[in-house]
Amino acid sequence: MVIVAPNGEFMPVTPMEGTIVVNIGDLMQRLTADKLKATVHRVILPDTEKGKACCRQSVALFVDPDDEVVIECLDGSSKYKPVTSYDYVRDRLRATYQPA
């Protein structure tokens, strides 16, 4: 896996034995007023034969609140304006998948 470094370039992340990696999404970042950061990442194939032979497991789990739940910063700050879960997901999908 590679992540985006502060300078905007992707950099490799070396797995640590006996650990797991949890990438949170932008909704969790919003809820925590940026205390937890969503990770821009990519998964790439290793470039060595030894790396390619290693076992890798990945589980993707996407969880969203019910549509009518209002999303606001849990710390009470106004870093992000409140928005319903439905509106937030709709806006993110629109930003990602612009009509042709």
* 3-state SS, residue 63: coil
Cβ partners under 8 Å of residue 9, min gap 6: none
User: pLDDT digit string (tens) for 40-73?
Assistant: 777 777 778 877 777 777 778 888 899 999 999 9
User: Which is higher by pLDDT, 45 or 86?
Assistant: 86
pTM exceeds 0.75 = no
Cβ partners under 8 Å of residue 34, min gap 6: 79
Domain residue extents for the chain: 2-96
